[in-house]
């Protein structure tokens, strides 16, 4: 009989501490569907979670996996029967690293015909994050100039491509080995190991209209100073503190305090800390509607050839250890994908 397989993160472990577990195939409850996974992936969040460094991760043990793409195999009472057999994407935060995943039917988004499931997977959490920061927070307009830190990363490269699609000039930081890729995407590259503020000022002497910063509190101070009047800083992570010890919430709290202080001053610029889950419990319906709308737009942009997905490698789910190790090696560009 077919079984469900999943990858368990038992505690703070090295990648080879991941465990493979099997169980019976789940039956969806009312309002739920079971997705047969076709592609899930290694996000930055799993790299933080295995170190116990993701600011609101659940207690161990749990099954990681921030998002997935697959086909709806079973639908519970009260769901639309048209979902059966449909290829969908879902944001899960945890639980995606499994052959079969149960989610609320209201949370799945159809994947357009012709889009490869692994390619679609690269723009679920990354695409929603990029779209919402660009269009709901910074509200960029054609002709503006923005700075994207880590413009070859999962979020950064999607954001850069969506911005180019909106007619925005994009300056992006990355290590020099990734500069050709940035140029291919229409991005002006800067090596983050050089004097980034000087290079940005040379390209945009009046400042930039928005900065997207995933690095953390030291970087956001510098990013804030690069804004043109009326500009917007969107901070969305603390990647620079991945290997720190101590409180996992403190790096985010420090950014929140900064953002609050900047917005309290009458200075004509705006700062946000973006969190993909913000508003989930207070206004669930609005949160879901926006998430569905925004992911639909991103997947459509991919279907129309405006977003080039970059896949570093594909591994079967049972080889999640190798997949996580490769993603953390920083030797590859693009997303490491897990398949059944």
Ligand X SMILES: NC(=O)c1ccc[n+]([C@@H]2O[C@H](COP(=O)([O-])OP(=O)(O)OC[C@H]3O[C@@H](n4cnc5c(N)ncnc54)[C@H](OP(=O)(O)O)[C@@H]3O)[C@@H](O)[C@H]2O)c1
Which CB atom, from 34 or from 210, has the smaller least distance to ligand X?
210
Residue 272 interacting with ligand X (CB under 6 A): no
Residue 172 interacting with ligand X (CB under 6 A): no
Residue 314 DSSP code: E
Residue 78 DSSP code: T
Q: Can you tell me which of 44, 131, 224, 272 binds ligand X, judged by CB under 6 A?
A: 44
- Asked if residue 299 lies in contact with residue 291, where contact means CB atoms within 8 angstroms, the answer is no
Nearest to 67 by CA among 109, 24, 23, 112: 109
Q: What DSSP assignment string belongs to 91-154?
A: E-SS--SBSEEEEEGGG-EEPPTT--HHHHHTTSHHHHHHHIIIIIIS---TT-EEEETTTTSH
- Span from 85-93, 98-106, 173-181, 222-230 in contact with ligand X (CB under 6 A): 173-181
Residue 276 CB, shortest distance to ligand X, in Å, is 3
Residue 250 corresponds to which tokens in the numbers above?
A: 């403190």
Which CB atom, from 32 or from 173, has the smaller least distance to ligand X?
173
Residue 175 interacting with ligand X (CB under 6 A): yes
Residue 191 CB, shortest distance to ligand X, in Å, is 9
Which CB atom, from 28 or from 189, has the smaller least distance to ligand X?
189
Residue 258 interacting with ligand X (CB under 6 A): no
Q: Can you tell me which of 64, 154, 189, 207 binds ligand X, judged by CB under 6 A?
A: 154
Residue 115 CB, shortest distance to ligand X, in Å, is 20
Per-residue burial over 237-266, b if 16 or more Cβ lie within 10 Å, else e, is: bbbebbeeeeebeebbebbeebbeebeeee
Q: Can you tell me which of 237, 248, 298, 312 binds ligand X, judged by CB under 6 A?
A: 237
Q: Can you tell me which of 79, 99, 144, 152 binds ligand X, judged by CB under 6 A?
A: 152
Touching ligand X, residues 72-131 (CB under 6 A): 125-126, 129
- Asked if residue 18 lies in contact with residue 321, where contact means CB atoms within 8 angstroms, the answer is yes
Contacts with ligand X, residue ranges (CB under 6 A): 43-45, 125-126, 129, 149-150, 152-156, 173-175, 178, 192, 214-215, 236-237, 239, 274-276
């Amino acid at each position: 009989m077919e079984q469900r397989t999943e990858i368990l993160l038992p505690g703070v472990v090295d990648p080879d501490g991941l465990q493979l577990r099997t169980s019976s195939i789940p039956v969806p409850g009312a309002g739920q569907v079971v997705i047969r996974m076709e592609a899930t992936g290694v996000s930055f969040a799993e790299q933080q979670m295995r170190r116990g460094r993701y600011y609101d991760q659940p207690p161990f043990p749990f099954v990681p996996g921030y998002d997935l793409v697959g086909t709806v195999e079973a639908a519970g009472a009260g769901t639309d029967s048209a979902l059966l057999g449909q290829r969908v994407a879902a944001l899960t935060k945890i639980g995606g690293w499994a052959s079969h995943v149960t989610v609320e039917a209201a949370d799945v988004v159809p994947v357009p015909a012709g889009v490869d499931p692994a390619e679609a997977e690269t723009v679920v959490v990354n695409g929603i994050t990029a779209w919402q920061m660009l269009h709901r927070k910074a509200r960029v307009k054609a002709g503006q100039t923005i700075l994207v830190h880590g413009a070859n990363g999962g979020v950064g490269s999607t954001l850069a491509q969506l911005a180019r699609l909106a007619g925005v000039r994009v300056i992006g930081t990355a290590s020099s080995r990734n500069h050709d890729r940035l140029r291919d995407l229409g991005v002006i590259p800067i090596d983050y190991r050089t004097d980034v503020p000087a290079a940005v000022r040379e390209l945009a002497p009046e400042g930039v209209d928005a900065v997207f910063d995933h690095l953390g509190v030291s970087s956001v101070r510098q990013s804030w100073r690069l804004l043109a009047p009326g500009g917007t800083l969107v901070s969305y992570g603390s990647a620079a503190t991945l290997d720190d010890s101590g409180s996992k919430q403190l790096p985010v709290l420090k950014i929140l305090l900064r953002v609050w202080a900047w917005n309290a001053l009458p200075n004509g610029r705006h700062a946000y800390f973006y969190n993909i889950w913000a508003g989930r419990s207070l206004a669930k319906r609005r949160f879901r509607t926006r998430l569905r709308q925004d992911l639909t737009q991103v997947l459509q942009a991919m279907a129309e050839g405006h977003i080039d997905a970059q896949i570093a490698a594909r591994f079967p789910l049972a080889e999640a250890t190798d997949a996580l190790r490769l993603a953390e090696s920083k030797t590859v560009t693009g997303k490491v994908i897990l398949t059944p």
